[in-house]
Amino acid sequence: MRIVIAEDNTLLREGMVLLLTSNDHEVVATCAAGPEILPALREHRPDVAVLDVRLPPSFRDEGLRAALAARDEFPGLPILVLSQYVEQTYAAELLAGGARGVGYLLKDRVGRVEQFLEALERITSGGTALDPEVVTEILSRKAAERPLRGLTPREYEVLGMMAQGLANGAIAERMVITERAVSKHIRGVFDKLGLPPEGGDVHRRVLAVLAFLDGGRASTVSGP
């Protein structure tokens, strides 16, 4: 795949370039600051963009704002956002609107080569990829509130793994249950969140993740 990278840390940026090129991907451009991102995307039209949240000049949310602008200008462009820390608000904003093909990982995950590459493959296929630490923090916070719309503990656990971007087979393996049982739990999640059948399973999975991030309001999110 053809990739644009935006990362101001030279060592991390060059490390990603080496990692990706050694795995038969092409890095068509690298950026070190927020204002460089959109021009690079316009010029190269990559298959996916990997963007740091905090970039020069202000080191606040330039990468996130560039990601949102890119999704408007290039609908459907897969984007993987990297962050040094768990920042749930950024993850929720990136996923808002029922967007497909988006991911949010902590930078530590880049060093875990297989997970990083799997996340890229997943979002380029239209799925989502949330860092397990982001999911863990959300689970902890929501456990103190109440499970979303009466989900059972098993359904809630499955929803958390869906938020990570895991497929049914991977969920079944982690939970030591059958894929059929996973499918049953996912149907329960969809039903209890009031997700319409229109748009297909992938779209409903993304809406379920939005509910997970935003307190159960997935049914109010418009589709693509």
Q: Which domains does the chain have, with CATH numbers?
A: 2-130 (3.40.50.2300), 134-220 (1.10.10.10)
The bridge status of strand 26-31 relative to strand 2-6 is parallel
CB 137 within 8 A of CB 184: no
Summarize pLDDT for 99-116 with one digit per residue, the tens.
Answer: 578 888 899 888 888 889
pLDDT category, 214, cuts 50, 70, 90?
low
Q: Give pLDDT, residue 76.
A: 86
Q: pLDDT digit string (tens) for 63-92?
A: 988 988 998 899 889 999 998 887 767 766
Cα dihedral 144, 130, 15, 53, rounded to 10, equals -70
